[in-house]
Amino acid sequence: MIKGFWKTLSKPIFALAPLAGVTDAAFRRVIAKYGKPDVMFTEFTSADGLCSIGQRALLTDLLYCEAERPIVAQLFGSNPEHMYQACILARELGFDGIDINMGCPDKGIERQGAGAAHIKNPKRAQEVIAAAMRGAGELPVSVKTRIGYSKNILDEWLPYLLEMDLAAITVHGRTRKEMSAVPAHWDAIGRAVELRNKYDAGPDHTLILGNGDVQTLDAACEKVRQYGVDGVMIGRGIFGNPWRFNKEQTIEDLSLDVRLGVMIEHIKLFEALYKSDSSDGKRKKPFDVMKKHFKAYVNGFDGAKELRAKLMGTHNAQEVKEIVDNFLPLI
């Protein structure tokens, strides 16, 4: 059933997808400033790891700031006791909710029985959810999953999740086998809404969010209208565009110097949060992690290819700023 902050959100709900190596604390702070969605999720974090000696380093993945609220900690794992303990920790850290990843196709995560592997073991999935709810206390628990593993088995899989009285379920419209090689099956996501309505017809029923191939708010609104979902989660559409969820201003409204200035702001935040000379026990992140963002920020204008090539050879924010400052007067 809907609980916690989920009850306060107006529909349709627009959510930022948790993308490993992309939607870290630095990028989320930029997004919160320039185009905040209705709800944000951390990168997924190992429940097993949070119950190990490596916990201190992993806490870096659970950094957030007040501007991001409501902010949900996304966790993965198949050990109910570890999930219970990790959810207690997330509650102590002040998160607004907890989301369990039951759709990640990473083979290493699947070998742990987590991610998309849960689809093949629905009873264990229920045990993990129940443990999460015990640890979460009053915090709402949600799940992000897929329509199946090797084939679409949503009619068999989703009822197991609906039985658990989750606050929300995000359905990515592909099987694990399909990865992202085919268009998202939004008809299957629409079927998820039908199943929810069949199993839980009350006013506080579990919310269903759709995910897959949605790049803009206009497209998201069309999916809501067409398939009856309560909201849409946008992932890849956020690359290079912190204004994606901004209803008043789009990236097309902005001058190039503003766009590149926000890129530099993003890089400086990344350095501040994950600086390589850190000695406080937090996990460091190499500057090269930022370079995937260069390709997204720097495109669609004359000289973009050449500028990207120069930026790919940089090692810090100051070098990026100098290259951008030298480029802007030339256009």
CATH at 56: 3.20.20.70
- Same domain? For 22 and 150 the reply is yes
Tokens of 138: 């009053």
Of 186, 209, 238, the residue at which a domain comes to its end is 238
- pLDDT at position 279 is 55
Measured between alpha carbons, how far is 63 from 56 in angstroms, rounded to an integer? 12
Measured over all CA atoms, what is the biggest interatomic distance in the chain, rounded to whole angstroms? 61
Burial of 211-228, coded b for 16+ CB within 10 Å and e otherwise, reads: bbbbeebeebeebbeebb
- Same domain? For 102 and 59 the reply is yes
- Same domain? For 195 and 56 the reply is yes
- Same domain? For 280 and 219 the reply is no
Measured between alpha carbons, how far is 286 from 299 in angstroms, rounded to an integer? 23
The residue behind tokens 């198949």 is 78
- Same domain? For 271 and 171 the reply is no
- Same domain? For 207 and 280 the reply is no
Domain presence at residue 316: yes
Amino acid at 205: H
- pLDDT at position 331 is 61
Query: In the chain, where do the E strands start and end?
Result: 13-16, 40-41, 45-46, 71-76, 97-102, 141-148, 168-175, 207-211, 231-234
Domain presence at residue 60: yes
Of 204, 238, 272, the residue at which a domain comes to its end is 238
- What's the gap between Cα 146 and its chain centre? 14
CA-wise closest residue to 20 among 210, 207, 245, 285? 285
Of 238, 266, 284, the residue at which a domain comes to its end is 238
What are the backbone dihedrals phi and psi of residue 15, each rounded to the nearest 5 degrees, phi first?
-120, 150
The residue behind tokens 């190499």 is 286
Domain presence at residue 185: yes
Q: Which of 51, 65, 104, 221 does the annotation list as catalytic? A: 104
Domain presence at residue 32: yes
Our count of domains for the chain comes to 2
Q: Residue 140 belongs to what domain range?
A: 4-238
Amino acid at 223: K
- pLDDT at position 27 is 96
- Same domain? For 190 and 312 the reply is no
Cβ-contact 214, 229 below 8 angstroms? no
Element (H, E) at 96: none
Cβ-contact 139, 70 below 8 angstroms? no
- Same domain? For 84 and 8 the reply is yes
Domain presence at residue 304: yes
Domain presence at residue 246: no
From the CB of residue 305, how many other CB atoms can be counted at a distance below 10 Å? Answer: 10
| Whether 104 is catalytic | yes
- Same domain? For 99 and 180 the reply is yes
Domain presence at residue 145: yes
- State how far the alpha carbon of 175 is from the alpha carbons of 63, 151, 172, 248, in Å: 31, 6, 8, 35
- Same domain? For 279 and 206 the reply is no
- Same domain? For 90 and 119 the reply is yes
Helix-strand-coil percent breakdown of the chain, rounded to 5? 50, 15, 35
Q: Residue 63 half-sphere exposure, CB side, CA atoms within 13 Å?
A: 20
Binned average pLDDT, 10 residues per bin, the chain of 331 residues: 91 96 95 97 97 92 96 98 98 98 96 98 98 98 98 98 97 95 96 93 87 96 98 94 93 93 96 71 78 92 94 95 91 61
Helix (H, G, I), strand (E, B) or coil at 183: coil
- Same domain? For 25 and 169 the reply is yes
Domain presence at residue 108: yes
Measured between alpha carbons, how far is 184 from 175 in angstroms, rounded to an integer? 9
CA-wise closest residue to 183 among 143, 130, 219? 219
- pLDDT at position 200 is 76
